[in-house]
Amino acid sequence: MKLCAFLNPSHIPFALFEQSSSSHFTAKTVLESYPPQQSDRIFISDLEEILGRTWDEITFRMIVESASRASFINVSTDGLFYTVHPALQGYIKDSFGEEEIMKYTRTAAQLLLGAMRSFESTTAQRWQLLPHINCIPRSVQSENVAHALAFHDFYDSLGDWKASKELLESALSKALAARGQRHGSSTWLMDRLACTLSNLGQLDEAEKMQRDVLALQLEIFGPRHLDTTNAMNNLANTLHQRGQLDEAEKMEREVLALRLEILGQRHPDTIGAMHNLASTLQRRGKTIRIQPTQ
């Protein structure tokens, strides 16, 4: 019951607990250079103490039934969702000190991080989690880079660019402070943030950041590296959106030539580059012909 006080009071999915347990309550690794921190074990241990080290549906449903008989929760007719009265949530929180509130908030965040790994299969399941994830303060979601990226990945999958932007900004700030601008994780985060800014329609900021990323990739890897061509492609897309078609076309031709050389004509990224260039040429009243390779 204490843990449920830190979720949304309505439509708490039964699957939230089952799926998080099946993931061992561990967060998804979005960026290999930033795996979940060892400190997660504190909250994972708390969850294992509450829900067990292995999932036991019978025991869990007995706990739910007991809470339902005491009128602490209401169970949906199909048994798939629970509701806690907001007044009870408030009473539980009011009985806690600041330190205990933060402990349970972080434990609830860990529960949700585990569930997000298993709720990736359908959009409907992710929407079920959203109100509960929104109950976790952004400051807790972004306490470290691994968590910020896991929550970002979730919001990004639902098209919540504002939340994605806030989490990426926090992750990037931490990565820059720890590893500097030239580290691969920093440039990756800059590129993701720039794409999110573009999705938000903040094209000035997106273009500036993408130019910075491209300059860094050219300096570190040179023009023929795939990370460089990806950075060039993202910048070209933003230029296309801004109507800067001369520069977009020039860059898209360069991307296509490099991908044809490095990946070959049949690779999906090469086909994507053909499509992008064709789209720009169409806007300019031109056509493109790609000769098939022998």
In tens, the pLDDT along 28-54 reads: 999 999 999 999 999 999 999 999 999
CATH number of 180-294: 1.25.40.10
Name residue 235's amino acid: L
Prediction pTM value: 0.90
Question: How far apart (Å, rounded) are the C-alpha atoms in residues 244 and 124?
Answer: 38
Domain with CATH 1.25.40.10 in the chain: 180-294
pLDDT value of residue 288: 59
Tokens at residue 294, please? 């022998």
Q: Please tell me the number of Cα atoms within 13 Å of 3 on its side-chain side.
A: 20
Can you list the alpha helix ranges (DSSP code H) found in the chain? 14-22, 40-51, 57-69, 86-94, 98-118, 123-133, 138-141, 145-157, 161-179, 184-199, 203-221, 226-241, 245-262, 268-283
pLDDT value of residue 293: 46
Instruction: Give tens-digit pLDDT for 215-246.
Output: 999 999 999 999 999 999 999 999 999 999 99
Question: How far apart (Å, rounded) are the C-alpha atoms in residues 185 and 183?
Answer: 6
- Per the rule left: phi > 0, alpha: psi between -120 and 50, beta: everything else, 185 is alpha
* Confidence tier at 121 by pLDDT (50, 70, 90): low
| Residue 294 pLDDT exceeds 50 | no
Tokens at residue 83, please? 């509701």
